[in-house]
Amino acid sequence: MFKDPVCGMDVEPETAAGKSEYKGTTYYFCAPGCKKSFDADPEKYIGKSPEHGEHHH
């Protein structure tokens, strides 16, 4: 189980909507929009703590 770096949701690699490689790390995404946001500005999302994510559902 991985955390989507954009929204903090738990994502299974097998069912992820997308994935990106950045600086030798693979990131998995719950939705294409999260992947698009990450790909546009990865530094904005790495280094922040997904456990204290921006989205509260």
DSSP helix, strand, coil percent of the chain (3-state; round to 5)? 35, 25, 40
- Rounded-to-integer distance, Cα 57 and Cα 26, Å: 25
Number of domains in the chain: 1
DSSP conformation class of 36: H
Domain assignment present for residue 18? The answer is: yes
- Rounded-to-integer distance, Cα 32 and Cα 48, Å: 20
For residues 53 and 1, which has the higher predicted lDDT (pLDDT)?
1
pLDDT-derived band at 4, boundaries 50, 70, 90? very high
Please name which of 16, 39, 40, 37 lies closest in space to residue 28, comparing C-alpha atoms.
16
Residue 31's pLDDT is what?
A: 97
Domain assignment present for residue 30? The answer is: yes
CATH number at residue 19: 2.30.170
Convert the pLDDT of each residue in 6-27 to its tens digit. 999 999 999 999 999 999 999 9
Domain that residue 17 falls in:
2-47
pLDDT-derived band at 47, boundaries 50, 70, 90? confident
The β-bridge partners of 27 are 20
